[in-house]
Structure 1
Amino acid sequence: MARSAPVCRVLHLCPDPYYLTELYGLYREALDQPPFESTLMFLRGAPDPALAAAAGPRTHFLNLPREALEGLRLPALWRVWRACAGQRFDLIVAHRYKALTLALALRRLHAARHVFGVVHEIGQFEGRRRGVIKRAHATPLTLLGVSDAVRADLVARFPRLPASQVQSLPNAVSDHSLLSPARARAVLRLAPHRFWFGSVGRLVPVKGHDVLLRAFAPLARQHPGVGLALVGSGREEAALRELSHSLKIAEQVAFCGWRADVRALLSAFEVCVFPSREEGFGLAIAEAMAAARPIIASDTGGVPAVLGGQGVLVPPADEAALTAALERLYRSAEARARVAAALRARWASQFSPPRFFAHLQTLARGAIGDVQ
């Protein structure tokens, strides 16, 4: 039987093709099967042929300069409008604040019926940003928090929004093949015989890598065979390198930089550690769950709900508690295996793509009404 023509057109507005690319792809995939048809648009970043081939012909790379997304964003709005070629979309899915402002502007231009604003962080709408949502309270707008904690933050900030306009849609991650531990360590240039703790995330203050270095230091001094690998980049890198030297653990700390292929490399780590001071969801945590890595993470934001009691939680910024957790999993292979298996099972039941697809499709149908 021939595939019926899609009747619900969806535009996905994404900041760039560098971060969260797989998640954007899952949103597109969920809403690119009948009756939905998706167009994927990246506001910044040069065209990526491999990504375009994977995402399909309705993929656009606007490669906007940073200044085009500041202030009134009129140049960006004009480029998006031209790229849309006068189409009217049933739904725009906008990730993060700047994309959301453009989506709301397109809605005012009658280029869309409804807007989904995907909110990835607690506190995203501080200061003047709150006014954007307050002014749009009567707009066909639904805010999608990536965890119950993000949704609770949105409800507290925008009490005038009806409950139906503030929803929770936990992120999903796909299954991913892993390199062998030896090969993954070779790619990351890690010493092959060390016991490696690994942390994946931007090197910015909220991610708590300074706390992790201080917590790791006593273990490193006691056990010269342990190592800590930080995978990511950011403005704190120089300060963190200096801290590792001042703690006299620099030889046991590896700065691996940002890696687009990090999912395949998680096998390099015996334990994954996420010491964030605040976290809306923790996509890297879900990725480590899918990779069956034991996890130590901060008890903050959406993290407890993601782990569901299966990982090792410590209070944020509590160096002593984090040191104890590192020591516990370092010493017990049995505990590592038990935690890893439980986390893998939780990923499969809660954060795998089929569950996410069904939830997002239900939300989309509810927002735009019945589609044939």
Structure 2
Amino acid sequence: MSSQPWVLQFCHGYDGPFLDVARQYAALFEGTPYKVCTVYLTGEPDAEAERGSASDEVIFLGHDSREVRGLKLGAMRRLRQIVAGRDFRLCIAHRFKPIYIALLATRLPVVGVLHAFGVFERAMRRWFVSRFQSRLLLLGVSDAVRDEMRGYLPAWDPERIQTLHNRVDVEAVQAEQVSRETAREALGLPQDAWVVGNVGRLHPDKDQATLIRGFAEALPRLPAGGLLAIMGSGRLEASLRKLADELGVAGQVRFLGQVAQGRRYFKAFDVFALTSDHEPFGMVLLEAMAAGVPVICSDCGGGREVVEGVGRVFPLGDASALADALCAETADSCVRVPERFTDEHGRQRFMAFRYLRAWLG
């Protein structure tokens, strides 16, 4: 076995935001003696995912989601083989399925990172993690997720259920982002318009209906040429288009569809609005801030924590309050990503967790 100390990072997959999540947690060990091996349970080998993981080694198990239902014995055997070859001190597992596999397949201490609400609604899951409480530290991506977990696991030491907010590599994101002019040209938006931006799948959870209603109410008070640009696709597109037509703003609402590497174009927006009714964190808010765009967010769990002190919060589902917030942002303004959402702050907080210090030595 190698004497080099390693940290195992076990991810369900690298789709959507989870590639950057892997990068965030690998970055926690920069400047330390630890090397990071990132293992993806699902997904075929991918050069871009390998580079984006920012890890010393990346392993793709290549399972299909259907293959890891039930007891997941094949994945457990493979993980045991990986762990047997090196001096792994710790496993960081994202989402419940990798936490489950890591706890059963290894004897490593496990940092389980939860990215969603409702993970412990099932009694069986609460029973399972409680069996392994002595070698498990649970992290929520927001205080809202953490507090929900503590509510489901009241017998746990609160220090075993903590918050580690998602972070953003500000310089890397800004290096990707194109200029306002280039972004508007790419998205087909007029250069002289005042644009409210929104990014997210067209799904009830994202509540773009309130967004459209708030925009329609605010439009007479917004600068001339006001537009709402919604980046994303989903099953509600037809009903949202119908709503915009009923409110008389169909000509001012642009449905941009799914845009590859959408955060590159955030400088196209004059203000960014997130209206979700169920947001564990809200990474797009940080990406908008990195572009210098003012942000507005519904009081929706983790999203409120992201914009607190730097953006505006309005009551969930209140279109009139959203309209007032949009109008308040018509003056030139600019924001920056708060220090608490940077890699360096995340590293300091992570290394300060009491149980983690004991495990890493």
TM-score range, shorter chain: 0.7 to 0.9
Question: What does 1:269-348 align with in structure 2 at a 5 Å threshold?
Answer: 269-330=269-330, 332-333=331-332, 337=333, 340-341=334-335, 344=336, 347-348=337-338
Q: Following TM superposition, where does structure 1 have runs of at least 4 consecutive aligned residues deviating by more than 6 angstroms?
A: 221-224
For structure 2, the 5+ residue unaligned runs are: none
Deviation at 1:348, TM superposition (A): 4.1
Please tell me whether residue 354 in structure 1 is matched to residue 344 in structure 2: yes
Q: Aligned partners of 2:41 and 2:153: how far apart in 1?
A: 27
RMSD: 2.7
**Residue deviations 1:218-241, cap 9 Å, x none?**
334776722112223444444434
Deviation at 1:174, TM superposition (A): 1.1
For structure 1, the 5+ residue unaligned runs are: none
* Matched AA of 2:204: P
Change (3 A) 1:329 1:137: same
Q: Aligned partners of 1:215 and 1:52: how far apart in 2?
A: 41
Match of 2:38 in 1: 40
Q: Aligned partners of 1:295 and 1:250: how far apart in 2?
A: 23
Secondary structure of 1:280's counterpart equals coil
**Residue deviations 1:286-316, cap 9 Å, x none?**
2222222111111231333322333111000
Q: Aligned partners of 1:165 and 1:33: how far apart in 2?
A: 25
Change (3 A) 1:242 1:130: farther
* Matched AA of 2:310: Q
Match of 2:60 in 1: 61
Please tell me whether residue 209 in structure 1 is matched to residue 208 in structure 2: yes
* Matched AA of 1:136: R
Change (3 A) 1:262 1:112: farther
* Matched AA of 1:363: F
Q: Aligned partners of 2:55 and 2:129: how far apart in 1?
A: 36
Question: What does 1:75-154 align with in structure 2 at a 5 Å threshold?
Answer: 75-82=74-81, 87=86, 89-106=88-105, 111-128=106-123, 130-154=125-149
- Of 231-240 and 141-150, more deviation after overlay is shown by 231-240
Q: Structure 1 length normalisation: TM-score?
A: 0.85
Match of 2:161 in 1: 166
**How many positions carry a matched residue from both structures?**
353
Secondary structure of 2:209's counterpart equals helix
Secondary structure of 2:137's counterpart equals strand
State the identity as a percent. Answer: 33
Q: Structure 2 length normalisation: TM-score?
A: 0.87
Q: Aligned partners of 2:183 and 2:354: how far apart in 1?
A: 39
**Residue deviations 1:93-151, cap 9 Å, x none?**
11122222222222xxxx24211111122333223464355543534001011122221
Q: Aligned partners of 2:180 and 2:329: how far apart in 1?
A: 18
Change (3 A) 1:324 1:105: same
Deviation at 1:58, TM superposition (A): 0.9
Secondary structure of 1:256's counterpart equals strand
- Of 19-28 and 44-53, more deviation after overlay is shown by 44-53
Deviation at 1:159, TM superposition (A): 0.7
Secondary structure of 1:60's counterpart equals strand
Asked if 2 retains the 8 angstrom alpha-carbon contact of 1:68 and 1:74, the reply is: no
Deviation at 1:63, TM superposition (A): 2.9
* Matched AA of 2:276: S
Secondary structure of 1:62's counterpart equals strand
Please tell me whether residue 195 in structure 1 is matched to residue 194 in structure 2: yes
